[in-house]
Amino acid sequence: MTYAEKGRCDMERKKIVIVDDDRDQQAGLRVRLTASGYDVACAGDAIQAIAVVRKEKPDLILLDIGLPGGDGHTVLARLQSLGSMASIPVIVLSAMEPAAHVDRMKSAGAVAYFQKPADNARLLAEIRKALGETAPQG
């Protein structure tokens, strides 16, 4: 166990829900986020997203736009309409052209927008910022 991991044993681990229909993307993000000390749950479509968020009560959501069963815009609007879930920070992570979506997603409540493939260090820094965490000391 590393020093950073040992320090996390005393803290409650933050939970992140990944909403993405690409299983490879889910797996890659899960590995990186777990290695960074987060608990991770996944949803593969818009309908499953709401159910998983309700069940898991995450601290943050990573949301793709292009989803089966409704797009990321629909998921974000639904989350914003469900009182207790409206305060969960949402970071959009999408392969879609940002110019067509970033303003709409941010005005709907997203805290950040990344185009895939996202730079891992920048994404992790934005996740930490959204969760009110400081970067690990090394």
Split at pLDDT 50, 70, 90, the class of 108 is: confident
* Sequence-separated (6 or more) residues with CB below 8 Å from residue 129: none
Q: For residue 66, what are the CA distances in angstroms to 20, 26, 70, 137?
A: 8, 14, 8, 36
CB contact set of 4 (below 8 Å; sequence gap of 6+): 37, 136, 138
Per the CATH hierarchy, to which homologous superfamily does domain 13-130 belong?
Answer: Response regulator (3.40.50.2300)
Q: Could you state, in order of their start, the residue ranges of all structural domains in the chain?
A: 13-130
CB atoms within 10 A of CB 12: 8
**Model pTM score:** 0.86
Q: β-strands 39-43, 15-19: how paired?
A: parallel
Q: If you average pLDDT over every residue of the chain, what do you get?
A: 87
- What mean pLDDT is predicted for residues 114-133? 93
pLDDT bracket for residue 123 (50, 70, 90): very high
